[in-house]
């Protein structure tokens, strides 16, 4: 869906019966980007909705990125993890290079997973924050900030931050961590982007070479990307 109210109203069936070709469309829109590490939110890893095929495996294969890991965005003890459709509803990391994956679970919100992928002595963290509650997002960001401050390596934080109240929501996080907010165009909704929901933060020792978005309507969010200097 492209993020328009028309699509949300007329194509809700896609939440229960996903178009089988969509993972291929996503991969096609990314293939020319020469990606090293790809962070994905809300991908199906083999439920009946996707005819028991994993979107993560398909994207990994089509992009020739052999290393991938995924996990449900819910805490391991959450009852959501045991609901048939939701237990295959994952956040994922796909990589051209092998690395180490560490899972962190936040104390607040329904979506508690924060994945850390360590590659070339850089930690890449990916999150998907609360959609409905600004107060929950504030608590999540405070906890994430504490994890960032303890990270012994250069680090990058990315994901869907759902900051519908604007970038003011992350000012305290930037002050507490000293991380840099990467300048990016709006990414949501994909058909007419006007909100900055998908963000990158980097530690001061990481130099950004380029950044941007990829124009596609394979999702309701545009993919955001950064290129860092060696």
Query: Hey, where are the domains in the chain?
Result: 5-228
The pair of structure tokens assigned to 218 is 């394979």
- Average pLDDT of span 29-40: 93
Which CATH code fits 5-228?
3.60.10.10
pLDDT tens digits for range 68-118 = 999 998 888 888 777 777 788 899 999 999 999 999 999 999 889 999 999
Cα-Cα-Cα-Cα torsion 31, 34, 37, 40, nearest 10 degrees, comes to: -20
Nearest to 165 by CA among 197, 187, 129: 197
State CA 220 to chain mean position distance: 13
At residue 11, does pLDDT exceed 90? Answer: no
Tell me the pLDDT of the chain averaged across its residues. 91
How far is it, in rounded angstroms, from Cα 137 to Cα 23?
29
User: Which residues lie across from 98 on neighbouring strands?
Assistant: none
pLDDT band at 120 (very low <50, low <70, confident <90, very high): very high
* DSSP result, 76-128: TT-GGGGSTTGGGEEEEEEESS--EEEEEE-SSSS--EEEEEEETTEEEEEEE
């Amino acid at each position: 869906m492209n993020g328009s109210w028309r699509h949300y109203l007329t194509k809700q069936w896609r939440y229960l019966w996903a178009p089988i070709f969509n993972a291929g469309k996503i991969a096609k829109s990314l293939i020319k980007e020469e990606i090293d590490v790809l962070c994905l939110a809300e991908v199906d890893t083999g439920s009946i909705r996707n005819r028991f095929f994993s979107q993560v495996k398909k994207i990994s294969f089509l992009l020739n990125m052999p290393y991938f890991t995924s996990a449900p965005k819910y805490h391991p003890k959450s009852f959501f993890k045991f609901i048939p459709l939701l237990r295959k509803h994952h956040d994922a990391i796909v990589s051209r290079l092998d690395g180490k994956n560490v899972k962190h679970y936040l104390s607040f919100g329904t979506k508690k997973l924060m994945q850390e992928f360590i590659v070339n002595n850089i930690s890449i963290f990916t999150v998907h924050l609360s959609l409905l509650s600004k107060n929950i997002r504030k608590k999540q960001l405070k906890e994430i900030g504490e994890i960032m401050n303890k990270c012994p390596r250069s680090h990058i934080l990315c994901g869907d931050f759902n900051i519908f109240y604007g970038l003011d929501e992350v000012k305290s996080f930037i002050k507490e961590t000293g991380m840099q907010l990467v300048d990016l165009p709006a990414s949501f909704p994909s058909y007419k982007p006007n909100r900055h929901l998908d963000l990158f933060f980097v530690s001061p020792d990481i130099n950004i070479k380029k950044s941007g978005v990829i124009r596609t309507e394979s999702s309701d969010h545009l993919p955001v990307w950064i290129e860092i200097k060696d």
